[in-house]
Amino acid sequence: MAFCTACGSIVVDDARFCSCCGAPVGRAQPSTPAAPTHPGAVPLGVSPVAAPSPYGGLLGKRHRDRDFRAQVEYALADDILTEAEEAQLFAWAEAQGITQTDWQKRFRDLLDRMLIASVNDGRLPDMTSQAQIMLKPGEKVHHVDVGSLMKEVTLREFRGGSHGVSIPIVKGVRYRTGSFRGKSVVVGTELQVADQGGLWLTSLRVVFAGQRKALDLPYAKLANLNVFTDGISFNMTNRQTVPLFRVPSGQVVAAIINAAAQRAMA
């Protein structure tokens, strides 16, 4: 795989000119960059703001988004995102006009993966200044999500039948006597929202601050996590019930809890 020396974009093998910026590609260009970098990234030592954007024209944004995803995939290949890699990705995105709205609409999945990879690098976010819960001495807030406390509800329906006799009175008119008997039977279960609020992940515990109730789940009592794509449940040694929450990303919540719990019990 070759890279353009002018803009850093990926160049097709045997190509004479870069498809993004039109710069000539030398035959002596090495198949890999001289130093580890991301495919399509602005070369190290060159200010990304000063480098001209190669993403013009009708399909410019599509090519930009493709190359940016390639850079992120390259950085996350080892599931760890260092501070230097993160700074380079954000600088490239800003230089190429990727806005906060683009992050939320086009790259929301990348934000979650980058957050998990940065936690794997040992860097937990610090949101203590934004805390809206009472904190213990030395306690820090690492993350907050909108959470829905779920409950399992039993679904029932009434089933039964009738019996009796029908007596003709006049032509076209009948009188019916009888009775109806039935019972309520269970036909299944479903999850329903019991409460909604903020799910706060701190350095010592998980706190759910709902509209009707609050839960305090300390890491010292945490036995197991059950992680789902859009949810997470907590098996606690001091609770018989298993709190289940619906969240935007169960993997993000689990990664932060795991890292924070290991620090707290170290």
Tens digits of per-residue pLDDT, 162-191?
666 677 777 777 777 766 677 777 777 788
Which of the residue ranges 8-22, 23-37, 51-65, 89-103 has the most confident prediction, judged by mean pLDDT?
89-103
Mean pLDDT of the chain: 82
144 alpha-carbon distance from chain centroid: 13
Averaged pLDDT, 241-255: 95
Whether 255 shows a pLDDT value over 60: the answer reads yes
**One-letter identity of residue 34:** A
According to DSSP, residue 241 is labeled S
- Is pTM beyond 0.85? Reply is no
Tens digits of per-residue pLDDT, 134-159?
999 999 999 999 999 999 888 777 77
pLDDT reported for residue 88: 93
Half-sphere exposure at residue 6, Cβ-oriented, CA atoms within 13 angstroms? 14
90 and 21 share a domain?
A: yes
Whether 3 shows a pLDDT value over 70: the answer reads no
161 and 222 share a domain?
A: yes
Among 97, 120, 143, residue at a domain's last position: 120
According to DSSP, residue 17 is labeled B
Task: Calculate ∠ Cα 220-221-223, nearest 5°.
Answer: 110
182 and 112 share a domain?
A: no
CB atoms within 10 A of CB 9: 22
Averaged pLDDT, 193-221: 96
CATH (domain of 163): 2.30.29.30
15 and 52 share a domain?
A: yes
The total of structural domains in the chain comes to 2
pLDDT reported for residue 9: 64
Task: Calculate ∠ Cα 221-131-147, nearest 5°.
Answer: 60
- Can you give the residue range of the structural domain that contains 6? 2-120
147 and 230 share a domain?
A: yes
Tokens of 116: 């998990």
Residues of the chain with pLDDT > 90, as a percent, come to 53
Among 120, 151, 169, residue at a domain's last position: 120
Are 68 and 102 contacting, i.e. CB atoms less than 8 angstroms apart?
no
